Each structure stands twice: as C-alpha cells, then as structure tokens.
Amino acid sequence: MIAMGFSNVAGSLSSCYVATGSFSRTAVNFSAGARSTVSNIVMAATVFIALEFFMKLLYYTPMAVLASIILSALPGLIDIREACNIWRVDKMDFLICLGAFLGVLFGSVEIGLGVALAISFAKIIIQSLRPQVEVLGRLQGTNTFCSVRQYPVACRTPAVQVIRIDTSFLCFINATFIKERYQPM
C-alpha cells in the first residue's frame, strides 16, 4: 500500500495514469476507456454499490468468470508491433522482453522481473567484455573522423591506424579482446 501511494505521488508529478489497485483492476479501468482520475471515483462507487447490494449474488460467481473479465482486458495491453520494433532495433533487448513475458506467463511477476534483470546484466557484461572496435577514417575536406565501415568514402590515414573502442568500461577485463582485435588491423 505504501509503494502504491508513493508510485501515485511520483506519477502525478509526470502526468502518469494513476494506479488504483492491482494490475488487473488498472487494466480493466484502462480498457474501459478511462482517461482521468474521475474514473477512479466512478470505479470506487460501482464497487461499493456492488458489494453493498449484490454481494449475496456475486458470492456464487465462479473464479473462472472473474478470470475471464481480467483476461478480456489484457490483450489491449500487449503491443505486438512494439515487440517487433524492438526485434528490429536490438535482438538482445527483444530477448529481455521475451524473457520477462515468459517469466510472468509461466511463473510470477517476480520471476519475470528476475529473468529480465538477469538477461540485462548478462547483456551489460557481454558488451563490456567484447566491445566494438571501429576503424576510423577522415571525411575529405573536414576534420571529422568516422567509421570506414559505415562511411566507405572516409579515407584511412596510411601512417596511423585510428580506431574507436565503443565501450564505457575499458579495463583489464576486456584488454585482451581489444588487443586481439587491434593486432590484425
């Protein structure tokens, strides 16, 4: 409850949609077309009236019916186009997305989050251990150096090999890899 309160306070500072309860209730509220916080008042009044007057009737409602209400709200929250876009941009980010989805689907939210974090840490470690090494060349008529692979018109300097190591973590851990990549150039 405290976390929900903090998330609503922090979200109100950045125009976020207010979380009014569990994920399933928020999903149903979103699928119903809610656009403002007034919907929370309407939802609270509806729940109050239903609990006050229809509790004896709703007591026998099977859990499968309640689950179907929640499941009918979920397809609008899954964005297949965005997943395809993530696949085109970065395969490892798609793997993180897929790992989180499968972890939640077959486990729980905590397991999905743990899987996504583990894959993210593995991605960071792999990128740190094996950074990209680019050979640079000068664009004619400028003092700008750019990748000769990306810009074939860039001229390499004959006496000096100019390279760029694309990592923010350059240390002894990845020094051997960089040395091996630099020697054949």
Question: Tens digits of per-residue pLDDT, 121-138?
Answer: 999 888 888 888 888 888
Residue 1, pLDDT score: 58
pLDDT at 120: 95
11 plus 51 within the same structural domain: yes
Judgement on whether residues 73 and 11 belong to the same structural domain of the protein: yes
The answer to whether residues 140 and 165 belong to one domain is yes
Q: What are phi and psi of 162, to 5 degrees?
A: -100, 125
If we measure between CA atoms, which residue out of 154, 141, 149, 143 comes closest to residue 166?
149
Q: Does one domain contain both 71 and 1? A: yes
Both 52 and 3 in one domain: the answer is yes
43: domain range? 1-78
| Most confident among 40-44, 73-77, 93-97, 106-110 (mean pLDDT) | 93-97
Buried b (16+ CB within 10 A) or exposed e, 107-143: eeeeebeebbeebbeeeeeebbeebebbebbbeeeee
Same domain, 15 and 64: yes
Q: pTM of whole model > 0.75?
A: no
Are 135 and 125 within one domain? no
Is residue 112 predicted with pLDDT exceeding 90?
yes
Token reading at 44? 């609270």
Q: What is the mean pLDDT of residues 94-118?
A: 93
Average pLDDT taken over every residue of the chain:
81
C-alpha triplet 168, 173, 179: angle, nearest 5°: 90
Tokens of 149: 């692979």
Euclidean distance between the first and the last CA atom of the chain, given in angstroms as a whole number = 59
The whole-angstrom separation of Cα 25 and Cα 74 is 10
Percent of the chain clearing pLDDT 90 (strictly above)? 20
90 and 73 fall within a common domain: no
